[in-house]
A and B are shown apart, each in its own frame.
Chain A
Amino acid sequence: MAGTLWRPILFTENAVSDRPNDLSLEKFRRMVRIREFETVAEAIHAAGEVPGALHTYTGQEATGVGACIALRSDDYMVGNHRSHGHPIAKGAKLRPLMAELLGKVTGVCKGKGGSMHLSDFSVGSLGETSIVGSGIPVAAGAALGAKLQRNGRVSLCFFGDGASNEGAFHEGLNLAAVWKLPAIFLCENNGYAVSTPVSGSMAIVNIADRGRAYGIPSAIVDGQDVDAVEEAVAAAVDRARAGGGPTLLESKTYRYADHAVNMGRLTLNRGPEVEVWRKRDPILMYRARLLEGGIAASVLNAIVEEVKLEVQDALAFARESAYPSQLEAFDDVFVERLPIPAWLSEDII
């Protein structure tokens, strides 16, 4: 077979770990990693170090981690604007993610994506796309590619409750159903799309019910319980790998923060709701479960300390890194770099 230009994407070089033996501690570690990353991200955003918008994943950690832990490292994943949690959940290294937040050339997207697009292809990501719903057909297409190539991979798509009102959701699910694609559509229902509660954007209660319209099996899962998410996604993955087609999962979860940093005015007064959800915090709940199961607190505390150092290391790396050169703006439009306009090249040489 000819075709010399194409190189396969390698999915393992950057992965922190691939289905580690002690999954429970790894799940805990990845959730803590997301929480700590977001805590630092918010702080440096407040300090003016992060340009642009910042949508945090805090509160939703169990969904990302439970889902990704049920995947193989070479399985595909597509996410959305609330992008930080997904790559961390899939095992991406933190340095390139943090550097991307600061717009540095060492960032995972060389500083051209930023907070809404923390997509690390080395862990199987095919994009974190900030046009709501637009990742869903892409994920279906990756599943189609996997099926055509018989490579045994599945494709998982994260999207929000709001995205399920986009045509792309309905088209993507229908395609996956009619072609029996190995896809898992995982809706992170965090209750709101910016200021609009789910009840304000659809006349049914559960997004999972939409699966029936396409002949797709669906389930609702407790999005605060990492084991429950893992179990549900693992079942969907098994079905997909066995040729049984796609699954729609709805994870009932919650974001603690505003839709994005500094967007408080677009958040309804959620009253005591936030505190109610915090009582079911995914990390606290999982910590309690691990302690109950006989894991020593010192082990968990050590993980937290390690993660803090890791995030600080990523931040130091990001701060030390250089910004991209102006030439970078013309690279990656096509495979071959674009010519630089004359008026600009005078400035930069």
Chain B
Amino acid sequence: MARATYLEAIRQAQMEEMQRDSRVFIMGEDIICNVFGTTTGFVDMFGAERVLDTPISENGFIGASAGAAMVGARPIVDVTISSFLYPAMDQIISIIAKSRYIYGGQARLPLVIRCCLFYGNSNAAQHSDRPYSMFMNVPGLKIIVPSDPVDMKGMLKVAIRDDDPVLCFEDSTCWSSKADLPTDPDFLIPLGKGDVKREGTDVSVIAVAGAVPLALKAAQKLAGLGISAEIIDPRSLVPLDRDLILKSVRKTGRAITVDPAHQTCSAASEISAMIAEFAFDALRGPVLRVATADTHLPFSPAIEKSLYPSVDRIVTAACRLVGVEHFDSAQGTV
């Protein structure tokens, strides 16, 4: 075990899987120079053939990853920032998500598309996206959103070994978080298994990606107010660990979903609907959503930060559900 960051976890997962399986290769823009530090040293380790710099041609190289995967290679595509997926929507949706299905199972697409959720730092609307929920509406794509270094390492390794296409969204607000990383090369966390990050009895907080650390901080504050919050991290959105979420909600009778995505049609919305549909009888109040406001993200820090989920908004929502007055809140309402 050694303390390592979330970014280092990504690097280790990729490195170990590339060592394990010579069919795995990685490509993306400027990955040899390496923008975020997730492929440091890779060219020396694996050679330029398996560490490919691409032209700025997302539809081209993401599509090429599909072709390479269909003939037996196992590509990892590093798209750096999630906003750059958009020029490749055609290949991701029409080819990568649908080829196995439309050809009746003849195609196999073992590939991973990685990108970060880059928000909260005055990057303005075009560089601040959290688009995983859009892809949840497309069958055929597995989607992971790990929130800490251990989950990242174990899940990315599984994603690379998986025979279906996986989108890995890496929350940049988690980049510097540290943990003791397992060194077992077969340390694996299966996709579709959520995790109880903190046990509690009064309210279930189902948080996604960078909202998980916020929810954990909120749980500490809530404990001070006498409210015991259970924090659930689904970790993968497709497949989604419905059982874990429903079990928790059945126990607490209250649910809050927290999601850095824009609220409308977010993962939070889908999970809320699922709870309302399958655990209605257990609920003692409405399912509340704490997500990003449905507007674009502005450049100015003066007006950007307050649009996202925050510890305070989670605390306020929990107090409202449990019926405890909470005067600390900056906003007053959820």
Q: How far is the CB of A268 from chain B (nearest CB, A)?
A: 28
Asked if residues B95 and A121 are in contact (CB atoms below 8 Å), the reply is no
Asked whether, in the complex, the Cβ of A334 is within 8 Å of the Cβ of B161, the reply is: no
B72 within 8 A of A: yes
Partner of B161, one of A5, A76, A129: A5
A140 nearest CB neighbor, chain B only: B64
Which segment of A109-117, A185-193, A309-317 sits at the interface? A109-117
Residue in B23, B50, B55, B105 whose beta carbon sits within 8 Å of that of A110 in the complex = B105
Q: Is A299 an interface residue (CB 8 A)?
A: no
Instruction: Say which one of A26-34, A142-150, A279-287 lies at the interface with B.
Output: A142-150
Tell which of A112, A146, A332 has the most Cβ of chain B within 10 Å. Answer: A332
**Contacts A138-B70, A155-B67 given: A113-B108 contact, CB under 8 Å?**
no
Q: Within A126-168, which residues are at the interface with B (CB < 8 Å)?
A: 126-127, 129, 131, 134, 136-146, 148-149, 153, 155, 167-168
Cβ of A272 within 8 Å of any chain B Cβ, yes or no, is no
Count, chain B residues at interface, CB 8 A: 49
Q: Which of A9, A76, A153, A334 contacts B140 (CB 8 A)?
A: A334
Kindly identify which residue among B67, B139, B140 contacts A144, using a CB–CB cutoff of 8 Å.
B67
Closest-CB distance, B45 to chain A (whole angstroms)? 16
In this complex, which of B72, B99, B142 has the most chain A Cβ atoms within 10 angstroms of its Cβ? B72
Q: Is the CB of B71 within 8 A of A113?
A: no
Count of residues in A whose CB is under 8 Å from the partner chain: 56
B67 touches A142 (CB 8 A): yes
Q: Would you call B57 an interface residue if the criterion is a C-beta within 8 Å of the partner chain's C-beta atoms?
A: yes
Q: Which residues of A contact B276 (CB under 8 A)?
A: none
Q: In the complex, which residues of chain B have a beta carbon less than 8 angstroms from the beta carbon of A145?
A: 67-73
A127 to B67, CA, bound (A): 10
A110 touches B72 (CB 8 A): no
Q: Which residues, 60 to 95 on B, are CB-close (under 8 Å) to A?
A: 60-74, 87, 90-91, 94-95
Contact (A333, B100) CB under 8 Å given A8-B72, A171-B57: yes
Cα distance, A153 to B72, chains bound together (Å): 13
State whether B72 touches A3 (Cβ < 8 A): no
Residues of A within 8 A of B164 (CB): 334-335
Residues of A within 8 A of B108 (CB): 6-7, 9, 335
Residues of A close to B107: CB separation below 8 A: 121, 126-127
User: Is the CB–CB distance between A129 and B95 below 8 Å?
Assistant: yes
- Tell me whether A174 and B57 are in contact (CB under 8 A): yes
Whether A1 is near chain B, meaning CB under 8 Å from some CB there, is yes
**B199 proximal to A (CB < 8 A):** no
Chain A residues with CB under 8 Å of B65's CB are 141
The answer on a CB contact under 8 Å between A168 and B105 is no
| Pick from B49, B64, B106: contact of A138, CB under 8 Å | B64
Cα–Cα distance between A138 and B105 once the two chains are bound (Å) = 17
User: B73 contacts which of A121, A148, A338 (Cβ < 8 Å)?
Assistant: A148
Which residues of chain A come closer than 8 Å to B64, judged between CB atoms?
A: 137-138, 140-141, 144, 172, 175
Q: Do B72 and A149 touch (CB < 8 A)?
A: yes
Decide yes or no: A107 and B60 within 8 Å by CB, A1-B21, A3-B21 being known contacts.
no
Q: Which A residues are closer than 8 A to B by beta carbons?
A: 1-3, 5-9, 76, 78, 107-113, 117, 119-122, 126-127, 129, 131, 134, 136-146, 148-149, 153, 155, 167-168, 171-172, 174-175, 178-179, 331-335, 338
Inter-chain pairs besides A131-B90, A171-B55, 4 sampled, C-beta below 8 Å: A7-B108, A113-B102, A134-B63, A148-B49
